[in-house]
Amino acid sequence: MLTHEIDITGDQATGLRRMSQPKPVKTIAITGGKGGVGKTNVAVNVSMALAANGHKVMLLDADFGLANVDVQLGLSPEYDLSHLIAGERNLEEIIVDGPRGIKIIPASSGIASMADLTQLEHAGVIRAFSELSYDVDYLIVDTAAGISNAVVSFCRASHDVIVVVCDEPASITDAYALIKVLNREHGVDHFHVLANMARSAREGHELYNKLALAADHFLDATLSFLGVVPADERLRKAVQQQHAVVDLYPGSQSARAFKKIAADVEKWPGAQSAGGQLEFFVERLINTEQELLGVLP
């Protein structure tokens, strides 16, 4: 038997190591100051539009009180995050295949927050994400509404935060309250504002301007205008039929808006380090919740 020696140079070895390392994942939290602004619709359709552009997308339903990503897409997951945390299923067993190949991590209503887990459970969740075999470009996180510790934690752990607003006074005031808390108390200094269900492009810009003006005067934060999703009967019909509008009515006004938003998201700077890998996202999430509850020094 002949033995062939393979001489690998230092540069080649470095290249092989890089190839074997998981690439960074861009994490984006989609949130809103109040319920009813359509953030889950935004999360679903942006995920679908990114997938249609050739990206590998994972969608995490992080609304532990009113989990409904699966409902919006007509899915019936047998298992969810509560089964992962309980050690009954691994991460790959709870992931649901969604349209266009997106991977969905379903939540269950009433699930305990990450901060309530034991250290052993913390380690198990982080390990579950680190051992995930899926190749993912984007992790889209659909948070709950409001300014709870869980919402703050998911926003802090993500690379980018999209704040969804609509033309209701409470939507604007609650969105500003969320931005204020994240900026003043947690150092988040950049937010993307999306005007949803707007009657016109002008109305959408006005909603953004209200928030941007207040932020300029009172906060050390930068707000960027992500765009407008118009009020659209086709979007309402898609929700009723439990489909994403970008799939069911791809030529509709709202679908075209979501496609433009996805194209803009693609231009954002990507995660460049190991801190962008999924297990680091979960680790940041858990540490943030523990800090908020005073568990960590």
pLDDT score of 54: 96
- Write the single-letter amino acid at 128: A
Evaluated on CA atoms 110, 119, 276, 161, the torsion sign reads: positive
Q: Distance (Å, rounded) from C-alpha 69 to C-alpha 146? A: 18
Instruction: Assign 20 a pLDDT band (cuts: 50, 70, 90).
Output: very low
pLDDT at residue 152 greater than cutoff 80: yes
Q: Distance (Å, rounded) from C-alpha 104 to C-alpha 150? A: 19
Q: Which residue has the higher pLDDT, 131 or 259?
A: 259
Tell me the mean pLDDT in the region 22-42. 89
Q: Which DSSP category does 21 fall into?
A: S
Evaluated on CA atoms 271, 38, 227, 263, the torsion sign reads: positive
Question: In DSSP terms, which residues pair with 164 in a beta bridge?
Answer: 194
pLDDT score of 295: 57
pLDDT at residue 123 greater than cutoff 90: no
Bridge-based pairing of strands 103-105 and 96-97 is: antiparallel
pLDDT tens digits, 198-217: 999 999 999 999 999 999 99
Between the CA of residue 294 and those of 45, 225, 235, 280, 290, what are the distances in Å?
36, 35, 43, 21, 6
Mean pLDDT score of the chain = 86
- Residue recorded with tokens 């991590």: 105
> 3-class secondary structure for 40-84?
HHHHHHHHHHHHHCCCCEEEEEECCCCCCHHHHCCCCCCCCHHHH
Q: Any idea what the Cα angle at residue 74 is, between residues 154 and 27, rounded to 5°?
A: 25
CB 182 within 8 A of CB 156: yes
pLDDT at residue 286 greater than cutoff 90: no
CB 186 within 8 A of CB 154: no
Q: Distance (Å, rounded) from C-alpha 116 to C-alpha 79? A: 20
What topology does CATH give the domain 38-143+253-297? Answer: Rossmann fold (3.40.50)
Q: In terms of DSSP H, where are the helices of 135-294?
A: 149-157, 169-186, 201-218, 233-240, 245-248, 253-266, 278-292
pLDDT tens digits, 47-69: 999 999 999 999 999 887 777 89
To 10 degrees, the CA torsion angle through 182, 188, 190, 196? -30
Q: Which DSSP category does 253 fall into?
A: H
CB 40 within 8 A of CB 69: yes
pLDDT score of 3: 38
pLDDT at residue 184 greater than cutoff 90: yes
pLDDT at residue 70 greater than cutoff 60: yes
pLDDT at residue 11 greater than cutoff 60: no
pLDDT score of 18: 37
Least confident of 16-20, 89-93, 169-173, 271-275: 16-20
pLDDT score of 244: 97
Instruction: Assign 150 a pLDDT band (cuts: 50, 70, 90).
Output: confident
Which residues are CB-neighbours of 123 under 8 A, at least 6 positions away? none
Instruction: Assign 110 a pLDDT band (cuts: 50, 70, 90).
Output: low
pLDDT score of 134: 81
